[in-house]
A and B are shown apart, each in its own frame.
Chain A
Amino acid sequence: DTGVSQNPRHKITKRGQNVTFRCDPISEHNRLYWYRQTLGQGPEFLTYFQNEAQLEKSRLLSDRFSAERPKGSFSTLEIQRTEQGDSAMYLCASSLNSPLHFGNGTRLTVT
Chain B
Amino acid sequence: AQSVTQPDIHITVSEGASLELRCNYSYGATPYLFWYVQSPGQGLQLLLKYFSGDTLVQGIKGFEAEFKRSQSSFNLRKPSVHWSDAAEYFCAVGPDSYGQNFVFGPGTRLSVLP
**A residues in contact (CB < 8 Å) with B:** 4, 6, 31, 33, 35, 40-45, 48, 50, 55-56, 58, 91, 93, 98-105, 107
Contact = CB atoms under 8 A, between A and B. Distances in A.
Interface stretch (B12-20, B63-71, B76-84, B103-111): B103-111
A42 B104 contact: yes
Nearest to B39: A104
Interface of B: 4, 32, 34, 36, 41-46, 49, 51, 90, 92, 94-95, 98-107
Contact of B104 (A40, A43, A55, A107): A43
Given A4-B43, A42-B90, A103-B43, A98 B104 contact: no
B94 to A, nearest CB: 8
20 contacts: A4-B43, A33-B102, A40-B107, A42-B90, A42-B92, A42-B106, A43-B44, A44-B104, A45-B101, A45-B103, A55-B99, A56-B98, A91-B43, A98-B34, A98-B95, A99-B32, A99-B34, A99-B46, A100-B44, A102-B43
B43 to A, nearest CB: 4
Contacts, number: 65
Given A104-B43, A107-B41, A98 B49 contact: yes
B46 A101 contact: yes
Contacts of B51: 98
Contacts of B43: 4, 6, 91, 102-105
Contacts of A35: 104
